[in-house]
Amino acid sequence: MPATDESSRRARALRGAIEPLAGQVYFAPECHAAYERLGFAPGGALGNVRTPDAAAYFTSRGAAMGQVAGSVVAAAFAVFEPNVVMAGVDHGWRLTDAATISEARTAGAIAQLERVLGPRPAGIERVTALLARAVKELRPEGRPLFAGVYSLDLPDSSLGRAWRLADCLREYRGDSHTAAWNAAGYDAAEIGLVGELMRGLPPRTYVRSRGWTTEQLDSAHARLMARGHVDSEGLTATGAQAREAVEVATDRQLRGATDALGDDLDELVGLLGAWSAALMVNSYPDLTGADRLESARIVSYGMGESR
C-alpha cells in the first residue's frame, strides 16, 4: 500500500480542518428555507438535521459555475449518476437562476455560522488570512467547481470570507480527487463502491446516496471483481492499495496549499478545531451506527417530483 508520507499527512490535516466550516452549508436550515422559498421541495431528515432537496443541492452547488446545463454539473460532480443530476438541474433552472440561488446559499451558510459561532469567533482574522494564503497558490486548470467558487465575490463579513475560502479548498480537493480516480482507471460507480469499503461502511449504503441503481452497482461490482479489486469478502489487498493510491494522488495535488501555509498549517488546524467542535454538535448529523445505515438509504437522489 502506498506510504502515507508527510505531504499526505498535511493535506489530510487541512482537509479535516476545513470540512466542518465548508460543509455545514449542506445542513443549514437557513439554506433549506431559502431554497423552499424559491420553489424547491422540502428536504429530508438526517439524524438531528435536515438535508436539502436533491434538485436544490445540485442546483445550488453547481450554480458556482454559472447558468450551465445539467450535463456540465453532472460532469463536475462526477460521482453522482448523471441522469439524476441532469434532471435535478433542469428542474432547478425552471425555478430560479444561478445568481439568485448562489446568493441564497451564501446567505444561508453565513447565517448558520453566525448562529452557531457568533459573528466573530476567536481567531477569525488569522483564519481568514491563512485560508487566503492557501487558496492564492491554487491553479484552476481542470478544476471546474474550484474555478467557479473562486470566481465568486468574497462576502462582506469576515466569517463569510472564511467560509468562501474554505469552500474553495474543499472544491479544489474534490476536483483533484476526480482527476485522480479517473487517471487510476475507475468510473464513478466503481469509485463509490471501493470508497465505502475503504472507509469500513457496509456495501451499497453510502454509494446509493449518489443515485446509482442496483443494476448499475451490480455491473460496477462485476468490473471491480474482474480486476481483482473486490471479492466475496469485500475489498482485496489489490483494491485497497489502488484506492489508497488515489487518495495519495489527491493529496499530492494539495501541495500548493500546504506549502503556502508552511509551519502555519498546525496553527490553522488548531484555530479551526474549536469552531469544528461547535459546528459538529450543532450543524452536523448526530447519528448512531444504525442511523447511519438507514440514512444512507433515505438520502437518495431519486428526485421525487423533480424528475
pLDDT at 296 over 90: no
Which of 34-48, 71-85, 139-153 is predicted with the least confidence, judged by mean pLDDT? 34-48
pLDDT at 48: 80
- Range 153-180 average pLDDT: 98
Share of the chain above pLDDT 90, in %: 84
pLDDT tens digits for 263-285? 999 999 999 999 999 999 998 88
pLDDT at 229 over 80: yes
- Range 177-204 average pLDDT: 95
Count CB atoms within 10 A of the CB of residue 136: 12
Band the pLDDT of 231: cuts 50, 70, 90.
very high
pLDDT at 178: 98
Share of the chain above pLDDT 70, in %: 92
Cα angle 144, 147, 152; round to 5: 130
- Our CA dihedral for 167, 170, 172, 173, rounded to 10 degrees, sits at 180
pLDDT at 287: 58
pLDDT at 121 over 50: yes
Band the pLDDT of 259: cuts 50, 70, 90.
very high
Q: Which sign, positive or negative, has the C-alpha torsion 17, 22, 23, 24?
A: positive
pLDDT at 301: 34
Listed by start position, the domains of the chain span 1-119+128-278
pLDDT at 181 over 80: yes
Cα angle 202, 10, 12; round to 5: 20
pLDDT at 45: 81
- b/e per residue 17-41 (b: at least 16 CB within 10 A): bbbbbbbbbbbbebbbebbeebebb
Band the pLDDT of 47: cuts 50, 70, 90.
confident
Q: What is the mean pLDDT of the chain?
A: 92
Higher pLDDT, 288 or 185: 185
pLDDT tens digits for 55-71? 999 999 999 999 999 99
pLDDT at 66: 98
pLDDT at 305 over 50: no
pTM, full prediction: 0.92
- CA separation, residue 95 to residues 36, 39, 233, 247, 301 (Å): 10, 6, 46, 37, 18
Cα angle 169, 23, 66; round to 5: 65
165 HSE (CA, 13 A, CB side): 24
- Range 141-154 average pLDDT: 98
pLDDT at 304: 29
